[in-house]
Amino acid sequence: MTPPSPNPDTRGLDPADLTIPHTESGMAIGLFGGSFNPPHSGHRLVAGTARRRLGLDRVWWMVTPGNPLKDHGMLKPIGERVAAVRAMVPPAFNTVTAFEAAHRVRFTADALRILLQRRPGVRFVWIMGADSLASFHRWQDWHWIVENVPIAVVDRPGATLSALSSPMASTYRARRLPEYDAPALASREAPAWVFLHGPRTPVSSTLLRSHGGATS
């Protein structure tokens, strides 16, 4: 595991935000991580599409202290970002968490190692937009992620071709499930992944920051 990062600023968070959410053995949980700076309808569409198409019990919105691949100069405090996500998503099928801050991890692979160790009876699926898949090969220990957690990729405007020609998609082409088999993904042994098509929106966090940060 990567050495711990410096203690993040956790002001504005409740103690419950910093704990790993409750689970029960056998649950299928989608993990949707990001800075969410700010969260927007595109994020909600990706998470909702994955939950419905994969038949997940819940989606965890994992609000990170900060993405190592992004500029943190305009990053809002994590407490504000957690509150913004919670205000945007319905609680019935979504859980918002910042447990990564409590464990002082910056990389997805390290967060997944913690979850796999502490929640061995849960079927986790990593959820990402197609725009993230295009640069997935730059993530820390990306091969380890693919080989330990099934992955659902949801199409995003302008990212389809770059995602499906990415190093991850090419390397693990034989492990891609047909879209009609998406409900089986959570039960498949990794490596296994699926590319989901569906409704799309051009909204992005970068676009929203340039227009004042509205999320809807």
Each residue's pLDDT tens digit in the chain (216 positions)? 887 777 777 888 999 999 999 999 999 999 999 999 999 999 999 999 999 999 999 999 999 997 665 655 679 999 999 999 999 999 999 999 999 999 999 899 999 999 999 999 999 999 999 999 999 999 999 999 999 999 999 998 777 888 899 999 999 999 999 999 999 999 999 999 999 997 655 554 444 334 454 444
Nearest-angstrom CA–CA distance, 17 and 11: 11
pTM value surpassing 0.85: yes
Query: Which of 21, 158, 44 lies closest to 97, judged by CA?
Result: 21
Nearest-angstrom CA–CA distance, 164 and 173: 9
Structure tokens that stand for 93 in this block: 């099928």
Superfamily, domain 15-210: HUPs (3.40.50.620)
Residues pairing with 126 in the sheet: 31, 151
Residues 6+ apart with CB under 8 A from 170: none
